[in-house]
């Protein structure tokens, strides 16, 4: 959830803090709402239709960015952009949509965004021999526990639907992690990365559209508008822009700490709007995921430093 955060920090005090907190609250609300909206939309739309709305809209609205810098921005490796687009582009939303066909919104948080720091940490340990210590190690352990609280009960009750959807969500988490690893070596800010991920996803989506077709034009205007708004405008652009703004106002540590609330927001949203009441172990998994992500992002250390 912090994958497209801006690098520069201009930490401010006073009234500007309120703007920063409002911005990151909006981003967290949108990201949690996106999970709920996607879970709801998979009942009527194909994963490809959802991906077309999610990436086609920002590709058009953010066209001034890639038109100004070119298809390959100066100083960026085409292989890096290919990994970013492959990991967080059209395939990511298709995998997510397929997984959410059989897995409730409450479990998406622990299984995808909370898995991201765990996968990235394992990559850094294996490739860069980067040690994992202290608060971060505790956070990763809590994320692992949150996953176990989902997988073990599903295995014991023989939940075929869960194990049909879980590989798709694991693929989505791995893709998002690949994007994160590639992105941190780029020179792009959040909106630029979003613009290029959407642009470079276009050939893949165009080929899929030619092969499979789409039902988006057959939707009523109200339904189509909601899909485009929730997928492309709010999640694809709005949350990214406001998160980047919050980083400038609050700094990375403060802003990232808020992203730990996304799994809880998705669970509450699925319960309130979709009638998906989580089981006690599901709630426990969500809580562990939230705490784990907060620790990995240094939320409690940031709070101590502020005091």
Domain ranges of the chain: 15-306
Q: pLDDT digits over 49-78, tens only?
A: 999 999 999 999 999 999 999 999 999 999
* CB distance 269 to 35 below 8 Å: yes
Alpha helices by DSSP H, 14-114: 15-41, 47-61, 63-69, 78-88, 90-100, 105-111
Cα distance between residue 306 and residue 206, in whole Å: 49
What span, in angstroms and rounded, lies between the C-alpha atoms of 260 and 52? 28
Q: What is the pLDDT of residue 248?
A: 84
Structure letter (DSSP) for residue 232: I
* pTM exceeding the 0.85 threshold for the entire prediction: yes
- The predicted pLDDT at position 243 comes to 93
Which pLDDT value is given to residue 277?
A: 94
- Give the residue-averaged pLDDT of 130-152: 94
Task: Give the pLDDT band (50/70/90) at residue 5.
Answer: very low
- 245 by Cβ neighbours in 10 Å (0-12 / 13-18 / 19+) ranks as buried
Over 90: is that where the pLDDT of 15 sits?
Answer: no
pLDDT digits (tens, 9 = 90+) for 247-258: 888 887 788 888
Across 163-293, the runs of DSSP E, i.e. the strands, are none
User: Does the pLDDT of residue 233 top 60, yes or no?
Assistant: yes
CA pair distance 115, 130, nearest whole angstrom: 18
User: HSE of 138 in the Cβ direction (CA atoms, 13 Å)?
Assistant: 10
């Amino acid at each position: 959830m912090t994958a497209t955060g801006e690098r520069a920090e201009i930490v401010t005090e006073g009234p500007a803090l309120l703007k920063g907190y409002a911005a990151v609250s909006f981003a967290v609300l949108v990201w949690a709402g996106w999970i709920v909206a996607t879970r709801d939309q998979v009942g009527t739309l194909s994963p490809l239709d959802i991906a077309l709305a999610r990436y086609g809209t920002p590709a058009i609205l953010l066209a001034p960015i890639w038109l100004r810098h070119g298809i390959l921005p100066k100083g960026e490796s085409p292989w890096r952009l290919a990994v970013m687009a492959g990991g967080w582009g059209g395939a990511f939303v298709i995998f997510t949509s397929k997984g959410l066909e059989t897995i409730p919104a409450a479990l998406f948080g622990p299984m995808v965004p909370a898995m991201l720091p765990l996968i990235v940490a394992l990559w850094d340990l294996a490739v860069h021999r980067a040690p994992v210590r202290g608060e971060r190690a505790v956070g990763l352990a809590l994320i692992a526990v949150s996953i176990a609280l989902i997988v073990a009960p599903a295995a014991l009750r023989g939940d075929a639907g869960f194990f049909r959807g879980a590989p798709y969500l694991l693929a989505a988490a791995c893709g998002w992690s690949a994007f994160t690893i590639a992105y941190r070596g780029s020179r792009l800010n959040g909106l630029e990365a979003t613009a290029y991920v959407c642009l470079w996803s276009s050939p893949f989506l165009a080929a899929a559209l030619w092969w499979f077709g789409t039902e988006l034009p057959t939707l009523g205007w109200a339904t189509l508008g909601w899909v485009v708004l929730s997928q492309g405008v709010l999640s694809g652009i709005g949350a990214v822009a406001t998160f980047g703004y919050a980083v400038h106002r609050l700094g990375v540590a403060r802003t990232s700490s808020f992203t730990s609330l996304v799994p809880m927001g998705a669970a509450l949203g699925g319960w309130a709007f979709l009638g998906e009441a989580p089981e006690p172990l599901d709630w426990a998994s969500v809580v562990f995921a939230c705490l784990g992500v907060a620790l990995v992002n240094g939320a409690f250390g940031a709070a101590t430093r502020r005091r």
